[in-house]
Structure 1
Amino acid sequence: MTTQLTTTQTKAWRNAVFLIFALPGLALATWVSRLPAVRDSLDIRIDQVGILIFGIAAGSIVGLLLSSHIVARLGARRTILVAMSVCAAGLALAGVGATFGPVFGVTFAGLLVFGFSSGITDVAMNVSGAANERALGKAIMPIFHAFFSFGTMIGAGLGALAEFVGLPIAAHLGILAVVMVVGTLIAYPRLQSEHVGADGEPVEDASHQTWRDRLGIWRDPRTVLIGLIVLAAAFAEGSANDWLALAMVDGHHVDNATGALVFGVFVTAMTAGRLGGVVLLNRFGRVPVLRASFVLAAAGLLVMIFVPNPWVATAGAVAWGLGAALGFPIGMSAAADDPRTAAARVSAVATIGYLAFLAGPPVIGFLGEGLGILNGLLVVLVLCAIGALVSYAAREPERTARAEPETDTFADPGATAP
């Protein structure tokens, strides 16, 4: 039986989860940053590039659907170790396929494995992060997701450097794969079982549940409603990732460099919103913060769409980024409130949410082709409205205060589990 965690163990676990969240962001940005080089090396058309990207998406969906059963069998801690290692292997294989030959099929297979294991890792790390949040007794999930953003920022910068020095794709992705494995091995001893409740108290291990029990979570209305919150938040975030730079160029007639800069401003605002949002969450709770976030995202989007001045539109993008920051991590926390169903519910909610990343680009692209790219983004407002309306589903359960109150989120960075 798991014993109650000490404050030192809980902090060491938190710091390990920071690293675990950063590594997938680093990996994803590494791949995206080298995509033009991969296209050139494989000498493929844009539609074939789309097939490569689809490989990641398809693998992710399959991984998400299977993740609850894998986490139930292995536990979040061991799942992270195995899935992150497979993720690194898939990325390295994609690099080999894009460099030696080069061979499209090998590259696609590597990305399929990368996406599959990334989907599993996504659920496992959110389950572990939510359990750590329960043990800490305060909101911290947005900061975990901010570390994913930090990983993407570092990965993008290193990708640009790799392009500048002419580092071969296989060498770049291979080095990154080694970093992922080493980072995971560093974090692994500090991770704890997800079967903890408030204040680190042990709770019932749900590994005895059958696959039918885990699939039954889809029949719970709260699962679907939290999934809609995450879907709305993912749509608000993903639409900016895919279309903001182009919308500024085509809709507000700025140059390409300025369009990229505005996207950078959006990402920075979203990262800042995740870092600062925990203060609001701990003071006001999930539901008011979620509703305010969706309203702020919608307001920023309206300004960006309808105000012709590029500077004002950029200010709108800042509000959009701040508003889009918290929905996804809050949804993950809400899905994992009950440790007994955390893996199954997080898997289901993440699967619903990831539909935004699959459906969003073609939907907005289709609307943008007929109505103009700015008007095409109006569909995001509908999702924001839905997210605000169902925010009540994320209401937090009652929890007890920690016997040993914490005041510093980042204190004791060197603590390790005994």
Structure 2
Amino acid sequence: MSESRQRGGGGAGMDQIADDERSTPAASASAWLRAAGAAARAAARALAMSPLAARNAALDAAARALRAAETEILAANEADLAASASTGAFRDRLLLTPARLAAMAAGLVEIAAQPDPLGRVLAAWQRPNGLHFRRIATPIGVIGMIYESRPNVGADAAGLCVKSGNAVILRGGSESLRSARAIQAAIGAGLREAGLPEAAVQIAPDSDRAYVGAMLAGGGVIDLIIPRGGKALVERVQREARVPVLAHAEGLCHTYVHASADPAMARRIVANAKMRRPGVCGATETLLIDAAIAPTLLPLIVADLTALGCAFRADPKARAILPDLPAAGPEDFDTEWLAPILSVKVVEGMAEALAHIARHGSAHTEAIIAEDRAAADVFLAGIDSAVGLWNASTQFCDGGEFGFGGEIGIATGRIHARGPVGLEQLTSFRYLVEGSGQIRP
């Protein structure tokens, strides 16, 4: 894993994938994928034609099954934790608790409560010859999801894919394999209860690297690959995939405290943006603060974060105010810490803040804290990131917080989807044309 971009420590990523390589021959993995893909294709057709009530019933039943299997799922998670070498924020990603399991089930219920993403009329028009055109939202088909240590990712992906009429083939990391299997069993129970095919949600038999290779080469079997994990995993998927990829860069997120910021608000937001859960991709990794207010406000922010266990890497202007802060190295502003560490830079106004983000950001999420609406408008127009926030924590970059019920990832590219990927982003479209006997001259 590249030290220059991601140094939280203890995570999975490419090193974990390499560790997973055991004895499954590539031919065996490919044969499994062909069989799984054929079943998934048939399941996707059934889902696409199923009534909304059936898909919603499957999600509600899966949520009940998750709650009923709490003891088994938490025991599987304890076994994963016991076998894992992860520490700190990465261990927190792997951890399941009764509250997190309840939230997972609630997410499925919330997805079920969302409007049907299928059959929506995206556009309609009539030509002078009387032909009537409609652009209709349709499922993508078979989704391949490759993810690492977060067990809830499988439940979110399953819920969103089932509701949007897509089948999904999951490949989880070795660290969360027991948890992932237990969760997938509950999802399967929900599908059975609703009379929908269990093959709509499948998981690779184990975390062997061969299954990743088979999925990446799965053109004609899988319609879209979504990687969810560290930079090394995403880079490998983008490099090797022979299937379209909906990917994200790392979450190198910034919070900019403008000279007009309310000090109390700034302190509250920065503390949450960095320390609520430092290991999530929406955590702020760099604080930018205007020089006009830094001498009075920066010491207070640093004191708040220090009390919460945060460490710092500071530029010379910040260290001129607080000499005890460790100096930032040449790579620190390019680092997604995924840990309680914050890079700090004092800037001479909006232009320098935007230039810094353009140079060092990953197009994920940026926030400005300002009372000046005009300044906020300039900032939000000036960033080129998937999500921009004004006077709110970057940790709101989450599908549940957007009202999507969940997310299958945060897209930072510029094609098809950006930001949290929910139900609507898991659909494509086709055209229906209605005539009354027209022929083309």
- With CA pairs under 8 Å and 6+ residues apart, which has the higher RCO, 1 or 2? 1
- TM-score by length of structure 2 reads 0.26
More helix by share: 1
Task: State the structure with more CA Rg.
Answer: 2
- TM-score by length of structure 1 reads 0.27
More strand by share: 2
